[in-house]
A = this chain, B = another copy of it.
Amino acid sequence: MSIAVCPGSFDPVTLGHLDIIGRARALFDQVVVGVAQNASKNVLLDVDTRLALVADAVSGIPGVSVAIVPGLLAAFCREVGAVAVVKGLRGGADFDAEHPMALMNRHLTGVETVFVVGAPRFAHVASSMVKDVARHGGEIGDLVPPAVEIAVRAALRA
């Protein structure tokens, strides 16, 4: 049984993420969505909220689970027995940023990183822009699942 990990900050999870997770699931028997405990950037949502929102969003998809990545992604992949990390690519500059990380993860535990192309209709969806749009009162209902919209608006009011 082949297992893949879809890693990220998921601050918050978007329809773009769910598109990539679905593609990963079509390629591998099981997908574990790995939510980074310590996201590198200032996050809007705490890790438990981010985890819960992903769990809710993927609850209907058989073979997809979610877990917190407490430390190194490579170590997490070894623990869950993943053969692959699956990431979406938007453009060449994305690849250039991911390239050394993919090699490092392979170096650390042999896990392979595979890159897929998201659905073009989500090409404008990214967590950072979702937060920016919401912060300024714009519509995000067509960018994220309903529960995420509620959570983001709540967090922005806090």
Contacts and interface: CB of A to CB of B under 8 A. Distances in A.
B107 A124 contact: yes
A117 B121 contact: no
Contact of A91 (B99, B112, B138): B99
A-side interface size class: 35 or more
Instruction: Specify how many copies of this chain sit in the oligomer.
Output: 6
A95 B89 contact: yes
A95 to B, nearest CB: 5
Given A27-B84, A84-B27, A95 B101 contact: no
B120 A102 contact: no
A124 B100 CA distance: 5
B129 A100 contact: yes
6 nearest CB pairs, A to B = A92-B92, A120-B120, A103-B124, A71-B136, A91-B96, A93-B96
Interface of A: 2, 23, 26-28, 71-72, 74-75, 83-84, 89-97, 99-104, 106-108, 112-117, 120-121, 123-126, 129, 132-133, 136-139
